[in-house]
Amino acid sequence: MLYIIDILGTMAFAISGMLTAMNKRMDPFGVFVIAFVTAVGGGTLRDVLIGRTPVGWMQDLNYVYIIIFGFFVALIFRKKLDKLRTSLFLFDTIGLGVFTLIGIRRGLIVGLDPVICVALGTMTACFGGVIRDILCNEIPVIFRKEIYATICIFGGIVFFILRRLGFPEDLLYLVTSLLIIIIRLMAVVFKWSLPPLEK
């Protein structure tokens, strides 16, 4: 189930990257590149940092196939994508919860400190969007508007607290991912954001 949601989250991230690129009026190749880096950029950076090479999407081509599939689906139905924004947002939110835990798990597998594991989880979930925004010449959304990365960090802290309390592994992953998803939904509904720093 975690793998299936991971794949769906990858496609949702790819399509969100496409939407941004199309708003910037890029050509099809540019749109595909932005979609690709949005979907796998965070995981690629994480794998390089922990020395897991070849990186994940090179070992499992299902990620590449799902991005290509998402690209052509979005290309064909691009005029209807605005109506699907709510559904894409839900997949994106689910992907956020799952990608955070995948990053944490990768850190645990190689025996890293919990603080570094939380950083890896946050990076996995958020840095594809950071790379997308930089390539699109924008200040990354996570630095200026939404409490996106903060939710991942909070979820990672809760993960290790529950782990210390002896939660079963399956329940641990389920509870933590649901917590991240629920807080993300609430943050958007109630327009929660961190206040900007003033001079």
Give 198's DSSP letter: P
Question: Quick one: tokens of 139?
Answer: 């200040």
pTM to 2 decimals?
0.84
Per-residue pLDDT of the chain (199 residues; tens, 9 = 90+): 667 777 877 887 888 788 888 888 888 899 899 999 999 999 999 999 999 889 989 999 999 999 998 888 877 877 776 666 666 677 778 878 888 988 998 999 999 999 999 999 999 998 988 898 899 888 777 776 667 888 999 999 999 999 999 888 878 888 898 899 899 888 888 877 777 766 6
Question: Quick one: tokens of 101?
Answer: 């835990």
Angle between the N-to-C axes of helices 85-109 and 2-23, in degrees from 0 to 180, rounded to the nearest 10: 120
* Domain-wise residue ranges, the chain: 2-189
